[in-house]
């Protein structure tokens, strides 16, 4: 073990320094997330929709949708599995998590911590439940029944999935200042991270489908900002380790893409019943 410690002592020091500069790490992470999401949005606009003049045929478009979606799902699942395999007692990742958390505790100003304590409520269970009920009600009133069902299953299903996985791993939360934030239950994966990603992601998906073109990009930017900031707040408050949050994002990405893919396949390729023809009107006699 001493030899292993000697080999990895540099990594632990880097993790501690990164924790001391956690605001910079957060800013870089937010920028990277924005770049990735906006790049995906550009690809979706260019190749994701059927075009009247030219473009990919519907069959090729279906293959592209399935291939890209499954690639994202498999990648997210692989990332989650890789993190889950390294969080046991004595594992290097767990010790890096602790070094990063110690760096935050030693250097990040208390005012920043209190600000993130306010932001973190955007991922509280009751807030996400309100969004779920409100969104489903609006879609139902607008007679978008299939979309309302998909919207509800995305949010509720993620909550159930996260809860089940928490009880499988039973990772204890890091020690934190309970006068600023309290959190009960197990730590891995972060429910605020997966919940905010799925909830605000599915809200953005619905809004992109119904809003004019000029509102779509701002909607995606706002949803990304809320999801990343809410997830990051859990690390600043030290109610979760950094790997809990990253795993929560991986889990949320897996579930969100699977739900959107299911909704899109149902909407575009499921055969719709034809309206019944009414009684034929009597022909006029000339």
What is the distance, to the nearest Å, from the Cα of residue 116 to the centroid of all Cα atoms in its chain?
A: 18
**Against a cut of 0.85, is the pTM above it?**
yes
Domain ranges of the chain: 2-268
Residue 134, pLDDT score: 96
Lowest mean pLDDT among 1-5, 15-19, 26-30, 89-93: 1-5
For residue 26 the two structure tokens come to 């957060």
Residue 230, pLDDT score: 95
Q: Which residue has the higher pLDDT, 138 or 283?
A: 138
Lowest mean pLDDT among 19-33, 47-61, 108-122, 212-226: 47-61
- CA dist 246 and 192 (Å) reads 11
How many percent of the chain have pLDDT more than 70? 85
For residue 173 the two structure tokens come to 């939360």
Is a pLDDT exceeding 50 seen at residue 284?
Answer: no
- CA dist 254 and 155 (Å) reads 13
Is a pLDDT exceeding 90 seen at residue 265?
Answer: no
The catalytic site residues sit at: 192, 240
Residue 244, pLDDT score: 94
Q: Is 185 helix (H, G, I), strand (E, B) or coil?
A: coil
Is a pLDDT exceeding 80 seen at residue 280?
Answer: no
Confidence of residue 103 (pLDDT cuts 50, 70, 90): very high
Residue 127, pLDDT score: 96
Asked if residues 255 and 154 have their Cβ atoms less than 8 Å apart, the reply is yes
Mean pLDDT for 249-269 is 88
Q: Which residue has the higher pLDDT, 136 or 184?
A: 136
Is a pLDDT exceeding 80 seen at residue 139?
Answer: yes
């Amino acid at each position: 073990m001493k030899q292993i410690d000697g080999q990895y002592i540099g990594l632990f020091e880097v993790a501690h320094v990164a924790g001391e500069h956690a605001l910079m790490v957060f800013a870089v992470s937010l920028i990277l997330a924005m770049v990735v999401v906006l790049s995906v949005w550009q690809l979706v606009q260019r190749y994701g929709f059927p075009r009247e003049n030219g473009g990919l045929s519907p069959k090729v478009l279906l293959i592209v949708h399935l291939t890209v979606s499954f690639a994202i799902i498999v990648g997210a699942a692989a990332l989650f599995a890789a993190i889950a395999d390294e969080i046991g007692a004595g594992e290097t990742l767990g010790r890096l998590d602790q070094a990063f958390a110690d760096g935050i505790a030693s250097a990040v100003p208390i005012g920043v911590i209190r600000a993130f304590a306010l932001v973190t409520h955007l991922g509280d269970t009751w807030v996400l439940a309100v969004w779920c009920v409100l969104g489903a009600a609006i879609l139902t009133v607008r007679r978008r029944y299939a979309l309302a069902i998909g919207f509800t299953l995305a949010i509720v299903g993620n909550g159930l999935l996260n809860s089940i996985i928490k009880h499988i791993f039973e990772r204890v939360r890091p020690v934190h200042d309970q006068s600023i934030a309290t959190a009960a239950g197990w730590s891995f994966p972060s429910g605020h991270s997966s919940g905010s990603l799925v909830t605000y992601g599915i809200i953005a998906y619905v809004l992109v489908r119904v809003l004019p073109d000029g509102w779509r990009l701002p909607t995606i930017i706002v949803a990304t900002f809320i999801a990343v900031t809410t997830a990051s707040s859990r690390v600043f408050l030290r109610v979760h380790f950094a790997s809990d949050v990253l795993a929560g994002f991986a889990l949320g990405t897996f579930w969100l893409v699977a739900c959107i893919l299911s909704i899109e396949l149902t909407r575009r390729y499921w055969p719709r019943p034809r309206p019944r023809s009414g009684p034929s009107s009597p022909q006029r006699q000339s």
